[in-house]
Amino acid sequence: MYITKNGYKEILSPSEGCIEVDDLIGPAIMTLNRKGYHTAFSCSGHADSGHSPEIAYIQFEFGGMTPETLPNGWNWVCDGQMEHQYEKGTQEEITAVMNDLSSWAAELPNTTK
């Protein structure tokens, strides 16, 4: 998935001024950025990648706004980075966690006016 940096909207192919994000985490990333929680890096995790334990993470821009609450199962692991460790790392588990993440992001207050 590609999203524009201006307006945080999904686009179909790469172009100047866009960023690439994992398809499953993309909706949450767009919502977070639109609400003023600017992200720098993210990963939804990848089923059967051989990494153990499999993780998902979002790194917020240094010095920027970060959410006051976290979704269930997520933790702050360092300054401005939240992370979720999957139990099994299956595609079903990753999809469920990303759906929960998107719902959580939708409920956050806007930090922009």
The helix or strand, by DSSP H or E, that contains position 82, with its residue range, turns out to be strand 81-85
Tens-digit pLDDT profile for residues 15-69: 777 888 888 999 999 999 999 999 999 999 887 666 556 899 999 999 889 999 9
Q: Which residues, in sequence order, are bridge partners of residue 19? A: 3
Provide the residue ranges of all domains of the chain, joining segments of one domain with +: 2-107
Q: What is the mean pLDDT of the chain?
A: 88
Handedness of CA 34, 61, 92, 47 (dihedral sign): positive
